[in-house]
Structure 1
Amino acid sequence: MAWLVLVISGMLETAWAIALDRSAGFSRLVPSLVFAVTLLLSMGGLAYALREIPVGTGYAVWVGIGAVGTALVGMLALGESTSLPRILCLLLVVAGVVGLKIFH
């Protein structure tokens, strides 16, 4: 259960990062509220998962999922660069996250 919560929390990290960008420095209400709610849920899920998963592993997986998710949303929906080197770097992050799960 802790791993499932950790993965969902990582995906929520993507949501709050995108909402933070869309909030325009907290000047737009709806994205600012989405940011606050998803941040709290993401952090709460991370805290829950860390009851069973070591902090180094849990935090690295959480950040990795959030970073890759945010980069993918940026590339697929926000017009950011989809260069081969960038995609290869994201695959390395995914490999690291999978490795941390396998060798937990």
Structure 2
Amino acid sequence: MGWVYVIIGGLIEIGWATGLSLSKGFTKPLHSIITACLIVISFYFFSNSMRLLPIGTAYAVFTGIGAAGTAMVGMTFLHEGVSILKVGFITLLLIGVIGLKMSDNEKKDQRRTEEWPG
């Protein structure tokens, strides 16, 4: 369940990071209110994930989802520049996030086998 919390929090982070841009420095009230609400919701899910996952892994995955997703939103909807290098580094970031998640699962599997004498 911890990974579900991290993923939901990371996806909502994309929304609040985009909202920060759209709020124009919190000068647009509606965008600012929505952004503030998304920040609270995102951190709620993230904080719940840390009860179940190692903090380093949870935070790296949370911010990785947010960073990659926000970059994709910027390129797709906010007319930010697109380049092969940018897409390549976003892909590399996502591979790193997946690797962190997989390495956490390996440690859990290893701990389980160590707990059961055999």
TM-score normalized by structure 1?
0.98
Identity of aligned residues (%): 38
Query: In the alignment, residue 37 of structure 2 is paired with which amino acid?
Result: V
1:86 aligned residue = 86
1:32 aligned residue = 32
Please identify the structure whose Cα radius of gyration is greater. 2
Query: Per-residue deviation at 1:96?
Result: 0.4
The answer to whether residue 22 in structure 2 is matched with residue 13 in structure 1 is no
Q: Count residues with an aligned counterpart.
A: 104
State the 4+ residue runs in structure 1 displaced beyond 3 angstroms.
none
1:54 aligned residue = 54
Task: Compute the RMSD of aligned alpha carbons.
Answer: 0.6
Q: Structure 2: how far apart are the matches of 1:69 and 1:18?
A: 10
Q: What is the DSSP-based 3-state SS (H/G/I as helix, E as strand, rest coil) of the residue aligned with 1:103?
A: helix
Query: In the alignment, residue 65 of structure 2 is paired with which amino acid?
Result: I
Give CA deviations for 1:45-91 in whole Å, capped at 9, x if unaligned.
11000001100000000000000000000000011111000000000
Gaps of 5+ in 1: none
Gaps of 5+ in 2: 105-118
Q: Structure 2: how far apart are the matches of 1:72 and 1:24?
A: 19
TM-score normalized by structure 2?
0.86
